[in-house]
Structure 1
Amino acid sequence: MFKNGWLLLLMLLVFPASAVPTDEIRKVIEAQESAWNRGDLDAYMQGYWNSEKVRFASGKTFRYGWTETLAAYKKNYPDKGTLGQLKFTINETKMLSNYAALVVGRWQLVRAKDNPNGIFTLLIEKIDDKWVITHDHTSD
């Protein structure tokens, strides 16, 4: 019994309950959704790691770098009509460590002429005390 108590204490010290930051991660994605729906792509990009090492995969394209990703968003979504209204649905958040999570979900745009939608898988990491997307794989 005493031996199991030490094991429990060790586990609580190594993996404290407050270390599962799914609420913080959800807030990053909710902030992105809100920024998109305001038409503010610069604010939307605050959810991504501001680094040339950030990776984005969509369709047949791999894109590297925060600046290149922002430029692509601005080119592909030049106005409110093309932006539409974005809705993210998180299906699962799997903590890989206290500093990394895999987030899987769906995205949907509601626009006047169409309603594109698809799925996403995000690697979100805690870097410099901030949760940011370091890898985004989005598809139709």
Structure 2
Amino acid sequence: MLRMFCLLFALGLFLPARLLMVPACAKENEVKSPALTVGERSTSKFAKEIAALVSRQEQAWNKGDLDAFLGEYLKSAQVTYVSNGSVKRGYDAIREHYLKRYGNSKSSMGALRLSDLEISDIGDKHVLCIGKFTVIHHAHVPIYGRFSLIFVKSKGAWKIMYDHSSQ
């Protein structure tokens, strides 16, 4: 039965198989993402830098490296994460949230896919990036949503200072 779903999925003939059976048809937590592209609505002069940073985050997640994923966040008490009605302030609180929800291994974190980036400058030192995400983790149930990130230039590097995700 599983082979039939995988065959139908591969041929694009069975929509529920395409939506629900992705993990069964691929190696565990394998993600074949094309390189992130910057959308036509992007106006930032820093768009390539921000897209590369977001791509590094996606790669770190898919390797199960939570610390590398979070390494793109500003290590400050002012960094803020908003999701599902809750607000986390400070790098340590955000890290604890991710650890609790996703763990710190490839098998528990699963697969992340980011897409449809739109990147705009907010002055000279801040950049806004919005996009879409899909996470498939241990429950094998895809989580879809949108995100918005505000980056700040800190010590010569772009860092996430505000992260909002909604499903």
Q: Does TM, normalized by the shorter one, top 0.5?
A: yes
Q: Secondary structure at the match of 1:43?
A: helix
Say yes or no: does 1:118 pair with 2:145: yes
Which of 108, 112, 117 is matched with 2:134 structurally? Answer: 108
Q: How far apart are 1:133 and its partner, in Å?
A: 0.6
Q: After alignment, is 30-39 or 89-98 more displaced?
A: 89-98
Letter in 2 for 1:96: I
Q: How far apart are 1:95 and its partner, in Å?
A: 1.0
Q: Secondary structure at the match of 1:26?
A: helix
Q: Name 2:54's counterpart in structure 1.
A: 29
Q: CA RMSD in A?
A: 1.5
Going from structure 1 to structure 2, the CA distance change for 1:134 and 1:90 (only over 3 Å counts) comes to farther
Which of 154, 157, 162 is matched with 1:127 structurally? Answer: 154
Q: Secondary structure at the match of 1:108?
A: strand
Q: How far apart are 1:117 and its partner, in Å?
A: 1.0
Q: Name 1:95's counterpart in structure 2.
A: 121
Q: Secondary structure at the match of 2:71?
A: helix
| Residues matched between the structures, number | 122
Give 5+ residue unaligned stretches, structure 2.
1-43
Q: Secondary structure at the match of 1:47?
A: coil
Distance (Å, rounded) in 2 between the aligned partners of 1:57 and 1:75: 16
Give 5+ residue unaligned stretches, structure 1.
1-18
Taking every aligned residue pair, what percent have the same amino acid on both sides?
29
Q: Which has the higher helix share?
A: 1
Matches within 5 A, 1:1-140: 20-78=45-103, 79-111=105-137, 113-140=140-167
Q: Name 1:15's counterpart in structure 2.
A: none
TM-score by length of 2: 0.69
Larger radius of gyration: 1
Letter in 2 for 1:106: K
Q: Which has the higher strand share?
A: 1
Residues 102 and 122 of structure 1 are in contact (CA less than 8 Å); yes or no, is this contact kept in structure 2? yes
Distance (Å, rounded) in 1 between the aligned partners of 2:80 and 2:135: 22
TM-score by length of 1: 0.81
Residues 20 and 98 of structure 1 are in contact (CA less than 8 Å); yes or no, is this contact kept in structure 2? no
Q: Which runs of 4+ in 1 moved over 4 A?
A: none
Letter in 2 for 1:77: Y
Distance (Å, rounded) in 1 between the aligned partners of 2:77 and 2:114: 25
Residues 146 and 166 of structure 2 are in contact (CA less than 8 Å); yes or no, is this contact kept in structure 1? yes
